[in-house]
Amino acid sequence: MHITPTRLRRGALTACAAALALLSAGCSKASETTQTAGCRADDAWPGRQKAAWLRDAVSFRTVEGAAAPSARMSVVVGAPRTADARRLCLPLAVQVEFWTLTTTTTNTTAAATSRTEWSSVRRYRLFADGARTRTVGFPGDLPAVRDGVCVGVLVAVYAGEPLTERELPRVAPGPSADEDTPVRFVTDRVGAYRLFQPPDPARCAPGGPTAGPPPTGEPGWDPFHP
């Protein structure tokens, strides 16, 4: 069988091209592995998955014996308490928001009726990837951390933009509600929340002293704290 030099060259070029293709594919896969081996790829996570990550990464801490009441409580966003504790490849934009829950009682000829109103008083934005711990202390002027009357606090931690009116619960929990009382947000973005009772929940009983107005004015802290 006679093989011309031209056919030999074509065969060599074909083999070389195949080898280069395999090498290129291998390098591409290696590059992808290098980029994701040290972190969790979260760029395509929906809101529900981000909330699930936050649920395992957020804790609410209470320090006994702190000098100032506001120093006793804080929101901590750290490494998730899961088997896969790798940092996120793309840090999450996280909101930590505080609401006051105020009950007012109206006395009528028939009976006393109570109504709970809530108001957003502080919101801080931070970025979290699980590689380091971020701590947000409670603002010192929240009624629940001083001698407020019938005013509780709700704290929620969620990913993305600030919650809209449509995403807030249809029914506000009472200020004396237990911290395990479920709060039904109309969204799946909320990863963690906690209710904090007023210093004297018994004073929220019907006929008790009414609460003063919730704090007003601009926040004293930078909204991007910490």
DSSP-assigned letters across all residues of 160-204: SSPPPGGGS-SSPPPTT--TTS----SSS-EEEEEEE--S-GGGG
**pLDDT by 10s per residue, the chain, length 226:** 555 555 545 555 555 455 555 445 554 443 333 345 589 999 999 999 999 999 999 999 876 655 544 456 889 999 999 888 899 999 999 999 999 888 776 666 666 566 778 889 999 999 999 999 999 988 877 765 555 567 888 999 999 999 999 999 988 787 777 778 899 999 999 999 998 877 667 767 665 544 444 444 334 344 444 4
**Backbone φ, ψ for residue 27 (5° rounding):** -65, -40
d(CA 61, CA 80): 16
d(CA 51, CA 78): 14
Delimit the domains of the chain by residue range. 1-37, 47-204
